[in-house]
Amino acid sequence: MKDASKEILRFWKTQWEAYMKSMMAMQEQGEAMLEMIQKSGVLQEGSQKMVKEWADKYKVIQKTYLDAVEDHFKKLEDYIVGSAP
């Protein structure tokens, strides 16, 4: 049972890493698009400031979320490794 739990955890972590890579790629593309829009002059100064603040807040929230998930993976791994054979 312990080996099966380790395999399941490994699978989850692999899927999580794939998700994170995709999310980071989308974030980079989104940031490039926002930068392009801001440089184009389409947005007024107040709107540009609002978009930048939104993007900065999103990054902080995203990091908090990613750190929490990583922490939970670590706790789950510690539990599985430390559980009875």
| Tens digit of each residue's pLDDT (9 = 90 or more) over 7-59 | 998 999 999 999 999 988 998 998 898 888 888 888 888 888 888 898 899 88
CA 56 vs. chain centroid, Å, equals 14
The 10 Å CB-count burial string (b at 16+, else e) for 6-16 is eeebeeeeeee
Q: Looking at the whole model, is its pTM more than 0.75?
A: no
Whether 26 and 16 have beta carbons less than 8 Å apart is answered as no
Percent of the chain that is helix, strand, coil (3-state, to 5): 90, 0, 10
| pLDDT for residue 19 | 92
Q: Please report, for the chain, the start and end positions of each structural domain, with discontinuous segments joined by +.
A: 2-82
| pLDDT for residue 84 | 47
| pLDDT for residue 67 | 94
Residue 85, pLDDT > 80, answer no
Closest by Cα among 16, 19, 20 to 72 = 16
